[in-house]
Amino acid sequence: MPAIKVITIVTQITLSLITIMLFSCSEKPADIINPEPKKIKEKTLTIAILPEQNVFEQKKKYKPLAEYLSGALDVNVKIKLLDSYGSIYDEIRDRTIDGAFFGSFNYVLIKARADIEPLARPVETGDISVYKGIIFTRKDRKIASNVETWKGRKIALVHEVTTAGYVFPRWYLKKYGVNDFAKHFGKIVFTGSHDAAILSVFKGQTDIGAAKDLMFRKLLSENPAIKNEMLILAESTAVPSNSLCVRSSLDRETKEALKKILLSLHDTKGGNKALQALNAIRFKETKDSEFDTLRVMAGDLGIDIRTYPFRYRR
């Protein structure tokens, strides 16, 4: 083939390729030239979580719920992990949070001095939406249910604003004639969380402990060694499990929508995923009257829920 003809063919192919490339660049799809801006949720709803167990477990537990609520409400739902039971009142008062999953005694204290409204709480597998406070020990400690056998021992508590981890054991000992709770024990240790109080007793760091029965049974089911070593000495009447409550000043539309979504979580695939992370099957409505038993318990101890401190100096 003559050299001139070959050059001509190559030149034509090259020009054709350049034409195609130019055409392609000039005919980009509209969504590439002018991509649709990602929708930014302008509103944020911040929900606080109490330090019932270690921070990693808490994050894993509540993240799916926050993601689902963000989509359903069309707002940024943020979970804020609190480092202390005592900080929740400051957060509500200062409006740095919009709501929280309140422990029962936390709710009673804050309701007495701030405008908050209970919405709903998870119902766990087995249709459980309440818990009991329990007092427990190791079997090898030779401690009986008679409170006199507790005298001089080390006790692990959670925090002064928890029902199971402080109010109930105080109430229980007073019921059996012990008026000076602190002097009855050789040492009182505040662990900051329910699982830490349980493990403190199991590891032999303390002799007796007080915590939620739900957390106690969870740890026992996950750790057979603990189950074989521990003994429950006393338990309280049932009170509502941690309930999502919001500040009353939150706009009505958001409150109503949030409650409606929570109560219908079990009807959607995404909602069920969030429930599964919470070890729950659904949410149920929480009413203020359900906390009256705890208000009576506080009254029996001479606690003024309007002035009771959220923090103690130890």
CATH of domain 134-237: 3.40.190.10
User: To which residue do tokens 């007092």 refer?
Assistant: 135
| Contact (Cβ atoms closer than 8 angstroms) between residue 49 and residue 258 | no
What are the distances in angstroms from CA 107 to CA 182, 276, 286?
Answer: 25, 25, 12
Distance CA 210, CA 177 (A): 19
Q: For 256-307, how does the pLDDT look when each residue is reduced to its tens digit (9 = 90+)?
A: 999 999 999 999 999 999 999 999 999 999 999 999 999 999 999 999 999 9
Q: Is residue 308 pLDDT above 50, yes or no?
A: yes
Sheet-wide strand order for 187-190: 187-190, 154-157, 208-212, 133-138, 230-235
Q: For 4-18, how does the pLDDT look when each residue is reduced to its tens digit (9 = 90+)?
A: 444 444 445 444 544
Fold match flag (44-129+240-291 vs 134-237): yes
Q: Whole-model pTM?
A: 0.80
Domain boundaries, the chain: 44-129+240-291, 134-237
Strands 44-49 and 76-81: what pairing?
Answer: parallel
What are the distances in angstroms from CA 44 to CA 10, 67, 74, 99?
Answer: 62, 12, 9, 12
Q: Is residue 39 pLDDT above 90, yes or no?
A: no
**Among candidates 185, 228, 225, 226, which has minimal Cα distance to 208?**
185
Strands 280-285 and 116-124: what pairing?
Answer: antiparallel
Q: Is residue 152 pLDDT above 50, yes or no?
A: yes
Q: Is residue 26 pLDDT above 50, yes or no?
A: no
Q: CATH assignment of 44-129+240-291, given 2.40.10.10, 3.40.190.10, 3.40.50.970, 3.40.50.150?
A: 3.40.190.10
Q: What is the pLDDT of residue 8?
A: 46
